[in-house]
């Protein structure tokens, strides 16, 4: 049993929540004309407005007390100093070293890792240059035009999200695709578009043992060889990103064409390592380094700013406030910047694989909620799908709105309507509309019998993150903001955010089921449902 919720800070927050329970957000604004000024901040080019939340200055003080009691200052120092913060795997979690653009040495096991981090960045730069300048030639002598990143989870979601988000920076000759799913439909679709003579596959896998990735990579190699009819073509069309040289060699990729990273980089934090190679080739190494610099700027802010002026700390604590004291179970991510349409998917892995845990670092069962379900889609689309529930449903759902002042791509003057919608939604969710206002708004059309259907309770909380326009630097800062938010929450919950044992059981059972599906193993010991499903599959082959 975990002690977190028996602490003074936790109890004080519970009592405080009772005192705020019946206060509407519109009252909080009415009581304090300075609310926005007091409950918003800026750093790294990002404005964070957290004024539309069910909280007061006292709430934040109490939450900071909880963070302090949980040892946040100490954990933050340990994270940046390369201590073993991932206790179940006995590893550091040093994604911050990968984007350390300063000269500050960062030690793992007594060794400064910065020289090898910078060596890999140099190798990436040389590779990006040759591909982008058309000097890297395919087997038949043609320059590369298509990049296909084969990977899954952290070896897919980050690079894919960033490549999409920064499409404005793409080299005009290069098109980049991402293959992750085991169902061959995804690979087939990509292979139907690209040309084997001008395609470069990046096989991205930390372990180089992931079933989905290796299966897809083998099929891609088979496709290439069917077209080019020469085994030596593989070296011109396949490179690898991994921590595991032997497995890369065994697959048939020359270690010369391998970009290394290290076990102290977690899968979902690996975008900043050579796993970002597909991004770097597509947008150019200088822009990729800007992404790292943006993340580094947020790291420095997180590392040095006092808790009460620390953006990731505030974002994390506000999440804890809802999850543990208002018992919310989901968190919406709503980007009003179409370039960030994949951000909710990226954050699903970052947040749910990190903090979807039920035991503390010491292995005791937690007695409180941990990570909420993270979900969302690009702004306006959601308005015409599920916002109904946000406005008039029965659940309290905190939402993060992420908004660009300028879209990257507004040739036709859409941006003011986009901004109007984003601001209107946060305002409507907060204010709602009572019966008096509804009668006034509807005038003669107001039908008293239908009035309840036209009311909006409001009081739905939201954060709003706004920046001028999505550049590599801003995107780097934004991603690092969420990474550190997740870390802050893990500290408050007393859990290890850097392991992911929860993905193992399904993998293991799939490996066991495969022989039964191939008719090479007896299935009679499986549960009734699995046996029934196997029988249906066999009878419909």
Determine the interface stretch with ligand F6P among 23-31, 44-52, 205-213, 283-291 (rule: CB under 6 A). Answer: 205-213
Determine the interface stretch with ligand F6P among 11-19, 150-158, 305-313, 530-538 (rule: CB under 6 A). Answer: 150-158
Token reading at 436: 């008096």
* Shortest distance (Å) from residue 52 CB to ligand F6P: 34
User: How far is residue 188's CA from residue 179's CA, in Å, rounded to a whole number?
Assistant: 10
409-411-412 Cα angle (round to 5): 125
User: How far is residue 154's CA from residue 215's CA, in Å, rounded to a whole number?
Assistant: 17
Q: Interface with ligand F6P includes 267 (CB under 6 A)?
A: yes
* Shortest distance (Å) from residue 205 CB to ligand F6P: 3
Query: Site for ligand F6P (CB under 6 A): which residue of 79, 144, 152, 488?
Result: 152
User: How far is residue 361's CA from residue 494's CA, in Å, rounded to a whole number?
Assistant: 6
User: How far is residue 93's CA from residue 86's CA, in Å, rounded to a whole number?
Assistant: 7
DSSP β-bridge partners for residue 375: 332
Nearer to ligand F6P, 121 or 150 (CB): 150
DSSP β-bridge partners for residue 177: 148
Question: Three-class SS of residue 305?
Answer: coil
* Shortest distance (Å) from residue 405 CB to ligand F6P: 33
Which is catalytic among the residues 37, 226, 384, 504? 384
Nearer to ligand F6P, 213 or 426 (CB): 213
Q: What is the DSSP string of 130-182?
A: HHHTT-SB-TTSPBP-EEEEE--GGGTHHHHHHHHHTGGG--TT-EEEEE--S
Determine the interface stretch with ligand F6P among 78-86, 94-102, 203-211, 526-534 (rule: CB under 6 A). Answer: 203-211
User: How far is residue 408's CA from residue 404's CA, in Å, rounded to a whole number?
Assistant: 9
User: How far is residue 263's CA from residue 259's CA, in Å, rounded to a whole number?
Assistant: 14
Q: Interface with ligand F6P includes 91 (CB under 6 A)?
A: no
User: How far is residue 476's CA from residue 295's CA, in Å, rounded to a whole number?
Assistant: 4
Check if the beta carbon of residue 296 is closer than 8 Å to that of residue 104: no
- Please confirm, yes or no, whether 351 is among the known catalytic residues: no
Site string for ligand F6P, 211-240 (x = CB under 6 A): --x---------------------------
For residue 69, the number of C-alpha atoms closer than 13 Å in the C-beta half-sphere is 19
Determine the interface stretch with ligand F6P among 87-95, 110-118, 151-159, 174-182 (rule: CB under 6 A). Answer: 151-159
Kindly state the greatest CA–CA separation across the chain.
79
Q: Interface with ligand F6P includes 244 (CB under 6 A)?
A: no
Nearer to ligand F6P, 210 or 310 (CB): 210
Query: Site for ligand F6P (CB under 6 A): which residue of 43, 51, 63, 153?
Result: 153
DSSP β-bridge partners for residue 336: 403
Compute how many residues bind ligand F6P; rule: CB under 6 A.
Answer: 14
For residue 291, what are the CA distances in angstroms to 208, 427, 442, 474, 511? 26, 32, 49, 7, 38
Nearer to ligand F6P, 401 or 498 (CB): 498
* Shortest distance (Å) from residue 333 CB to ligand F6P: 19
Query: Site for ligand F6P (CB under 6 A): which residue of 207, 235, 408, 415?
Result: 207
Nearer to ligand F6P, 336 or 482 (CB): 482
Q: Interface with ligand F6P includes 180 (CB under 6 A)?
A: no
Tokens 């994270």, located at residue: 79
- Please confirm, yes or no, whether 353 is among the known catalytic residues: yes
Closest CA to 50 of 32, 38, 68, 62: 38
Quote the crossing angle between the two packed helices 211-228 and 184-193, to the nearest 10°.
Answer: 30
Q: Interface with ligand F6P includes 354 (CB under 6 A)?
A: no
Q: Interface with ligand F6P includes 355 (CB under 6 A)?
A: no
Site string for ligand F6P, 467-506 (x = CB under 6 A): ---------------------------------x--x---
* Shortest distance (Å) from residue 374 CB to ligand F6P: 15
Determine the interface stretch with ligand F6P among 54-62, 129-137, 200-208, 374-382 (rule: CB under 6 A). Answer: 200-208
Q: Interface with ligand F6P includes 348 (CB under 6 A)?
A: no
Check if the beta carbon of residue 523 is closer than 8 Å to that of residue 516: yes
Q: Is 419 exposed, middle or buried (0-12, 13-18, 19+ CB in 10 A)?
A: middle
Determine the interface stretch with ligand F6P among 10-18, 79-87, 149-157, 459-467 (rule: CB under 6 A). Answer: 149-157
Which is catalytic among the residues 212, 260, 351, 353? 353
Query: Site for ligand F6P (CB under 6 A): which residue of 82, 138, 154, 196?
Result: 154
* Interacting residue ranges for ligand F6P, rule: CB under 6 A: 152-155, 205-207, 210, 213, 267-268, 353, 500, 503
Positions marked catalytic: 353, 384, 507
């Amino acid at each position: 049993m975990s002690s977190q919720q028996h602490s003074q800070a936790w109890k004080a927050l519970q009592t405080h929540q009772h005192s705020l329970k019946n206060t509407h957000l519109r009252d909080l604004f009415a009581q304090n004309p300075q609310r926005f000024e007091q409950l918003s901040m800026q750093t790294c080019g990002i404005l964070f407005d957290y004024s539309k939340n069910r909280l007061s200055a006292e709430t934040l003080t109490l939450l900071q007390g909880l963070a302090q009691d949980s040892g946040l200052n100490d954990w933050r120092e340990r994270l940046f100093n390369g201590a073993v913060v991932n206790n179940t795997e006995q590893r550091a979690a040093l994604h911050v070293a990968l984007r350390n653009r300063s000269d500050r040495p960062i030690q793992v096991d007594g060794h400064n890792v910065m020289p090898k981090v910078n060596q890999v960045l140099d190798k990436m730069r040389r590779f990006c240059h040759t591909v982008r300048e058309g000097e890297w030639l395919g087997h038949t002598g043609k320059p590369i035009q298509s990049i296909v990143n084969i990977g899954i989870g952290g070896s897919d979601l980050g690079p894919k999200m960033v490549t999409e988000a920064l499409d404005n920076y793409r080299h005009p000759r290069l098109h980049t695709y991402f293959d992750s799913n085991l169902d061959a439909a995804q690979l087939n679709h990509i292979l139907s578009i690209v040309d084997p003579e001008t395609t470069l596959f990046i096989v991205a896998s930390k372990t180089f043992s992931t079933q989905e990735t290796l299966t897809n990579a083998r099929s891609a190699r088979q496709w290439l060889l069917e077209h080019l009819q020469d085994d030596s073509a593989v070296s011109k069309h396949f490179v690898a990103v991994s921590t595991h040289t032997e497995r890369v060699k065994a697959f048939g990729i020359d270690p010369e064409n391998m970009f290394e990273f290290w076990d102290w980089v977690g899968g979902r934090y690996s975008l900043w390592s050579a796993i970002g190679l597909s991004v770097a080739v597509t947008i150019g190494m200088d822009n990729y380094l800007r992404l790292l610099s943006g993340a580094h700027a947020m790291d420095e802010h997180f590392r040095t700013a006092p808790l009460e002026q620390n953006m990731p700390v505030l974002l994390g604590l506000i999440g804890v406030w809802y999850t543990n004291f208002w018992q919310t179970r989901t968190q919406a991510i709503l980007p009003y910047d179409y370039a960030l349409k994949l951000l909710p998917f990226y954050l699903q892995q970052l947040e749910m694989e990190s903090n979807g845990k039920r035991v503390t670092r010491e292995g005791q069962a937690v007695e409180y909620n941990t990570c909420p379900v993270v979900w969302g889609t690009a702004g306006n689309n959601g308005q015409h799908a599920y916002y109904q529930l946000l406005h008039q449903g029965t659940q309290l759902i905190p939402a993060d709105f992420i908004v660009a002042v300028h879209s990257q791509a507004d040739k036709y003057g859409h941006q003011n309507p986009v901004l109007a919608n984003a601001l209107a939604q946060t305002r409507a969710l907060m204010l709602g509309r009572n019966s008096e206002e509804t009668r006034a708004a509807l005038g003669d059309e107001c039908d008293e019998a239908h009035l309840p259907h036209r009311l909006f309770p409001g009081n739905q909380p939201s954060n709003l993150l706004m920046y001028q326009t999505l550049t590599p630097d801003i995107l780097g800062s934004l991603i690092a903001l969420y990474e550190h938010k997740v870390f802050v929450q893990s500290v408050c919950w007393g859990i290890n955010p850097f392991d992911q044992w929860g993905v193992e059981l399904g993998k293991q059972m799939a490996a066991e089921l495969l022989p039964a599906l191939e008719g090479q193993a007896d299935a009679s010991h499986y549960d009734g449902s699995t046996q029934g499903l196997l029988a249906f599959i066999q009878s419909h082959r």
